[in-house]
Amino acid sequence: MSQPIKVAVIGGGCAAVTAACELTRPELRGRYAVTLYQMGWRLGGKGASGRGAADRIEEHGLHLWMGYYENAFRLMRDCYAELGRDPDRVRIAEWTDAFKPASFNAVTDWSPSGAWLTWKVMFPETPGLPGDPEARPLRIDEYLVRAATLVRTLLQTIRVGPQERDRVSFHTADPSTAPPTPDALSAVLVQLMKHGVLTGLGACIEIVGLLEAALRTISAYPQSLLARVLDAVSATLHREVAQIIGRDDEARRLWEVADLVLAAIRGSIRFRLVLDPRGFDAIDDFDCREWLRLNGASEAAINSAFIRGLYDLAFAYEAGDPKRPRIAAGSALRAAFRAFFTYRGAFFWRMTTGMGDAVFAPIYEVLARRGVRFEFFHRLRNVELADAALDSETSHVSALYFDVQAALVGDEYSPLCDVRGLPCWPARPDFAQLEDGARIEAEGWDFESQWETRIAGTTKLEVGRDFDLVVLGVGLGVIPYVCGDILRRDVRWRAMIEHVQSVPTQAFQLWLDAATSELGWNDGPVNVSGFVEPFDTWADMSHLIDEETWATPPRAIAYFCSVLPDTPTPAEGPTDGAAFLDEQHRCVRTHAIDFLARNIVHLWPRFSWDALRANAPDPLDPTTRFDEQYWTANVRPSDRYSQSLPGSTPYRISPLDHTYDNLTVAGDWTQCSLNLGCVEAAVMSGMLAAHAIAERPLLSRIVGYDHP
């Protein structure tokens, strides 16, 4: 057998580890020898978590997986299957032990009646499970049919009135009715328009049903006719529904969603998305709310709790400013259609432990078993390109420069700890495995920061000798720090850095000595979005209580997160970096305490500071109880969240890009088709990076890559 090709995978987030998994699949028969270089002591990137005091789980934020994350779930299912954990010895042995449906969700909005209201939705279970074979995202025309079905059902629900609303199931709408012929249907639509029959909610529901039939064979109808019908339906509905929603909050919310979906249908027709070769990308220059409004959505609808919840989900606030909600319309619509119309099993899935332990520990174990070498405490400093003037070949990476953040006592670093039989990641490195570990610990070196300059040494890897191919899988925020050579020489990379933006985020976690019902929340475990800034999202994570090791277990656990307003980052240096991090950390603490003092009352009317678990609070200052909770300012370059701002899509660089013949990129910031900051996009990008190297997996196996 010929010598394996040496691949350096840089980074340990979802994209990088996916690439490593794909390149070491057994069917490739050891063709690639992978070494993964990771800053600090743990894998996970923005999904890293650690076990702190009492084995409590400390996350970067709130992580929910969506039911359309087909590639990500496939990865995890393969991983757990290969790992073959003994369920009698390890409590999370199967992927179904690690992920559970989280179907109960809510968004909050400010009612005209003068109070914050939560709109609770139990998403129905759907057939199959994410990662099952035969996943097929829909075409745009198929999405439009489903969307019209949804509108019809919402209108029926509004029409029946609050007393009977529970009787209307979202599954009672029958989308399989045989459609009339296009001509017959056109004639009916024309007649309805001509004679002004379109009056009243009932007529609108009927015509939406006809529209639904027409959308099934959309190419058979004049687009202008469909557009006119939609205009007429919307105008009538705005008039009719206005009489209902003023006195019925539930109807108002349903109407807002119907209004948004109608706008999405109308826009898809007006913008000819069905046959546009760019698919949803064709409208990525627009902000999503702007595009919906352009296509007739009302101001109330584009400011609704539903839309705010979606923006919150994607941290879609430019520069972290809540007053600048922006996300590329096409990317948002693609994700929303996939999320609502193609999810399998459950709309959301939550992990039964920390994301590091549910996702990255099993991946680490599988990769280690396959022979992947891990070089922890290696922080990339520069990707050096061959001098094009001296080299007639295509541009390529000639060397990689790393800081060695700490020298090891032994040959390799063992990163995992044992939490009652479950392999987990610690919240801090194991200093005993590091040379000079006690001093490093005492001095507080920050191993996960680009700004930390205290290091144990440096190393240079040379092409041909140390590596052949490179997967650059670092976070978007890190690129300016490690790709100086590329950025100086490559205008496309400079444009990418300028246009594809990232944003800091903030999060805090509470351990409570009161159950959520005792705090005043009576509806069971929930995920809530669309709440006030600075923390728009709350998730009840009380299911994690048994996963931690408390002498006296808390009664509830709650996670909160949101974007964090961007501020200029410091110049490099331990003092500046540490000072900046301290300042941002204090800032998040202030936000959280203010939020608990002023805003949480709307969700937890009986909250008091005494509910926070604390061992040594200052009796004169109950807010000091917060200091024993966990909070984080995700401002380090590697922690920043990748956004999808309007107009940025063309500037993303694909892992398949061949500008450099021994380099590929991986991350949710790349052109990976989904183009959103999320686990699924990162996994897709990692699969593409592997394809760029090994031509495997086949592109047709990456679910949703060729999605419109």
Partner 1 sequence: MTQPRFKRPVPHRTQPERGWSGLWGGPPIGEADPRPADDSLPFDHQVVNGAYSVVDDYLRQGQRLAEKFWLPLTPTQTEGFDGLAERFMHSAVDLSSAWLEMMQQWMPSTAYHAAPVGSAGPFVQAPEWGTQTPSPGSSHFPAAPPPPASEPIGSASSGSVSVLVESSQRTRVTVDLHRGIAAMDLLLGPLVAAVGEAPSIRGVEVETDRVQQQIDIRLRIPDGQPSGIYNGVLVDRTTHRPRGTVTVEVGSAS
Shortest CB 370 distance to partner 1, Å: 20
Of 322 and 570, nearer to partner 1 (C-beta) is 322
Site for partner 1 in 370-399 (CB under 8 A): 393-394, 396
Which of 81, 698 has the CB closer to partner 1?
698
| Distance, CA of 197 to chain centre | 45
Q: Shortest distance, CB of residue 324 to partner 1, whole angstroms?
A: 7
Q: Which is closer to partner 1, CB of 421 or CB of 650?
A: 650
Nearest approach, Cβ of residue 490 and partner 1 (Å): 12
Closest CB to partner 1 among 581 and 596?
596
**Residue of the chain from 250, 290, 485, 566 that contacts partner 1 (CB under 8 A):** 290
Contacts of 397-400 with C-beta under 8 Å, sequence gap 24+, read 397/463, 397/470, 397/660, 397/662, 397/663, 398/462, 398/463, 399/460, 399/461, 399/462, 399/463, 400/8, 400/10, 400/37, 400/460, 400/461, 400/466, 400/467, 400/470
Q: Which stretch binds partner 1 (CB under 8 A): 42-50, 548-556, 577-585, 653-661?
A: 653-661
- Under the binding rule (CB under 8 A), the answer on residue 116 touching partner 1 is yes
Residues 503-532 within binding reach of partner 1 (CB under 8 A)? 532
Site for partner 1 contains 287 (CB under 8 A): yes
**Binding residue (CB under 8 A) for partner 1 from 156, 662, 670, 685:** 662
State in angstroms the smallest separation of the CB of 16 from partner 1: 17
Which of the ranges 258-266, 342-350, 551-559, 648-656 carries the binding residues for partner 1, by CB under 8 A?
Answer: 648-656
Query: Does 658 help bind partner 1 (rule: CB under 8 A)?
Result: yes
User: What angle, rounded to 10 degrees, do the helices at 201-216 and 182-194 form?
Assistant: 150
How many positions of this chain bind partner 1 (CB under 8 A)? 89
Stretch in the footprint of partner 1 (CB under 8 A) among 235-243, 400-408, 632-640, 657-665: 657-665
Give me the least distance between CB of 53 and partner 1, in Å please: 31
Among 97, 101, 110, 123, binds partner 1 (CB under 8 A): 110
For partner 1, give the closer residue by CB, 102 or 666: 666
Question: Which residues in 204-223 contact partner 1 (CB under 8 A)?
Answer: 219, 222-223
User: Rounded to an integer, what distance in angstroms lies between the CA atom of residue 130 and that of residue 629?
Assistant: 34
- The correct pick among 188, 203, 244, 294 for binding partner 1 (CB under 8 A) is 294
CB of 284 to partner 1, least distance (A): 7
Residue from 646, 667, 677, 686 in contact with partner 1 (CB under 8 A) = 646
Residue from 304, 502, 527, 685 that binds partner 1 (CB under 8 A)?
304
Please, which of residues 248-277 interact with partner 1 by CB under 8 A? Answer: 270-272, 275-277
State the Rg of the chain over Cα.
Answer: 26
Surface-to-core class of residue 176, CB atoms within 10 Å of its CB (0-12 exposed, 13-18 middle, 19+ buried): exposed
Give the residue with the Cβ less far from partner 1, 300 or 545.
300
Least gap, CB of 282 to partner 1 (angstroms): 6
Cβ closest to partner 1, residue 74 vs residue 326: 326
Contacts of 187 (CB under 8 A, 6+ apart): none
Cβ–Cβ < 8 Å for 78, 133:
no
Q: Is 235 in the site for partner 1 (CB under 8 A)?
A: no
Select from 177, 224, 458, 549 the one that contacts partner 1 (CB under 8 A): 224
The structure tokens listed for 525 are 């475990």
Place of tokens 């991983």: 79
DSSP string over 47-86: G-EEE-GGG-EEESS--EEETT-HHHHHHHHHHHHHH---
In SS3 terms, 338-378 reads as HHHHCCCECCEEEECCCHHHHHHHHHHHHHHHCCCEEECCE
Among 52, 322, 525, 570, binds partner 1 (CB under 8 A): 322
Contact 672, 664 (CB under 8 A): no
Shortest separation between residue 377's beta carbon and partner 1, angstroms: 27
Instruction: Select 315 or 595, whichever has its Cβ closest to partner 1.
Output: 595
In sequence order, what are the residues at sequence separation of 6 or more whose Cβ sits closer than 8 angstroms to the Cβ of residue 396?
A: 385, 386, 463, 660, 661, 662, 663
Number of helical H runs and strand E runs in the chain:
21, 24
State which of positions 395-424 bind partner 1 (CB under 8 A).
396
Give the C-alpha separation, 479 to 473, whole Å. Answer: 10
Using CA atoms, how far apart are residues 157 and 252, in angstroms rounded to an integer? 11
* Residues 158-197 interacting with partner 1 (rule: CB under 8 A): 181, 183, 190
Q: Which residues are within 8 A (CB) of 261 and not within 5 positions of it... i.e. 6 or more apart?
A: 147, 150, 151, 154
Between 27 and 411, name the residue whose CB sits nearer to partner 1. 27
Q: Position of tokens 């990769």?
A: 367
Q: Identify the residue among 98, 173, 463, 472 touching partner 1 (CB under 8 A).
A: 463
By CB under 8 A, is residue 22 in contact with partner 1?
no
Q: Is 692 in the site for partner 1 (CB under 8 A)?
A: yes
Q: How far is the CB of 692 from partner 1 (least distance, A)?
A: 6
Lay out the site mask for partner 1 across 591-610 (x = CB under 8 A, - = otherwise).
---xx--xx-x---------
Q: Does 586 bind partner 1 (CB under 8 A)?
A: no
Beta bridge mates, 96? none
Distance CA 297, CA 304 (A): 11
**Is residue 440 within the footprint of partner 1 (CB under 8 A)?**
no
Pick 271 or 376: Cβ nearer partner 1: 271
Contact call for residue 534 and partner 1 (CB under 8 A): yes
Q: Do 475 and 638 touch, CB atoms closer than 8 A?
A: yes
Site for partner 1 in 136-165 (CB under 8 A): 139
Chain-centroid distance, C-alpha 297: 26
Token pair for 312:
């919150």
- Cα–Cα distance measured from residue 308 to residue 51, given in angstroms and rounded to the nearest whole number: 32
Residue pair 163/104 in contact (Cβ under 8 Å)? The answer is no
Question: For 320, phi and psi rounded to 5 degrees?
Answer: 75, 15
Stretch that binds partner 1, among 418-426, 577-585, 615-623, 647-655 (CB under 8 A): 647-655
Q: Tokens standing for 516? A: 């959520």
Q: How far is the CB of 583 from partner 1 (least distance, A)?
A: 20
Amino acid at site 167: R
Which of 284, 357, 548, 639 is the binder for partner 1 (CB under 8 A)?
Answer: 284
The DSSP bridge partners found for residue 253 are none
Site for partner 1, residues 464 to 493, rule: CB under 8 A: 464, 468-469
Told to check if 659 binds partner 1 by CB under 8 A, we report yes
Interhelix angle 140-160/201-216, nearest 10 degrees: 160
Residue nearer to partner 1 on the CB measure, 416 or 689: 689
Residue closer to partner 1, measured from CB, 313 or 693: 693
What residues numbered 338-367 form the site for partner 1, per CB under 8 A?
none
Q: Which residues 6+ apart lie within 8 Å of 519 measured at CB?
A: 512, 556, 604, 605, 606, 607, 611
Q: Is 306 in the site for partner 1 (CB under 8 A)?
A: no
Contact 11, 38 (CB under 8 A): yes
